Structures are given as C-alpha cells and as structure tokens.
Amino acid sequence: MMLRPSVLIVSSLLVAVALSSCTTSKSGGSGGLFSRKPSASAAFITALQGGIAGRSGVQLSDSDKQRALEAEYRALEGAGVGQPVVWSGRNVSGKVVAAAPYQVGSQNCRQYTHTLSAQGRDTVTRGAACRNSDGSWSPLG
C-alpha cells in the first residue's frame, strides 16, 4: 500500500508535535527538546532551598533529592489538605502532606510534613513555606 505525500506530511507533523513535548536534560531540568535552559518549575524547586527533606538528616542521592523536592513543591502548590504526595527512589521513599493554606501579610503559606522512609525507619520533618509573587515557595525558618 502506497501512502500519498499529504498523508506522509501530516504524519510527520504529528510526530514532530508529539516529540516537541518530550524533554531531555542531564541536569534534571525539563526545558523543551532543544532547550538549554531549565523550565520555570526547576527554578521554583530551587527556591525551596533543599526543602525540609534536606534538613531531615537522611542521606539522599541527587536524584532522590530532586524527587523529594518535586513532591514538596507539588504538595505546597496544589495538593488538597491532608492529601499525601508520594514519591519513591532507590532504597528511600517519601510522603509529603500539606496543611490548610493561611495568610502571612499578602503571602499564602502552608505548613507541611515530609516523611522519609529509608532502611526500615521513618523520619518525619515538619516545616512551612510561603508562596512568592513569582509562584515559587520560600521555606520559613
């Protein structure tokens, strides 16, 4: 069966559109297929300054730190009150639970807990963060 040139062009365009939403990055950023700059969400995650998982005392690999921070960001940004955001990595997993939002001046803030499970032990760390005007979250304390 021979395809018409117009069918091949449309098929090629569909593949190109589908690939344009894919991302690749050695640093864990999620810019576009040919982008060299990290996505806005990477900057938002960086603004968490290591999050509360970084203060837990649990040793995390770089990829596990990234997963933990992404979970903290997702919990702060949009999880319902008490709704866990779960993540897992190599020999460690975590669960982030955010409390109800509250106001500090003009900023929306949330308290949250991050439970890290590693080597058969659970470590619970508590903290709070406030949302900045650019959409990033800054930890309190």
| 55-59, 92-96, 116-120, range with the lowest pLDDT | 55-59
Domain count, the chain: 1
The tens digit of pLDDT for each residue in 68-111 reads 999 999 999 989 999 999 999 988 999 999 999 999 888 899 99
The pLDDT score that the predictor gives to residue 136 is 87
Q: Is there a domain that residue 7 lies in? A: no
Q: Are 53 and 99 in contact (CB under 8 A)?
A: no
Q: Identify whether 8 is part of a domain.
A: no
User: How many other C-beta atoms can be found within 10 angstroms of the C-beta atom of residue 134?
Assistant: 9
Residue 27 lies in a domain: no
Residue range of the domain that includes 62: 38-136
25 is a domain residue: no
Residue 103 within a domain: yes
Tell me: pLDDT of 34 over 50: no
- Looking at residue 94, its pLDDT comes to 94
Domain presence at residue 124: yes
Residue 88 lies in a domain: yes
Please tell me the pTM assigned to this model. Answer: 0.67
Query: Does residue 104 lie within any of the structural domains?
Result: yes
Q: What are phi and psi of 77, to 5 degrees?
A: -75, -40
With tokens 């939002």, the residue in question is: 101
b/e map 22-56, b = 16+ CB within 10 Å: eeeeeeebebeeeeeebeebbebbebbeebbbbeb
Mean pLDDT for the chain overall: 74
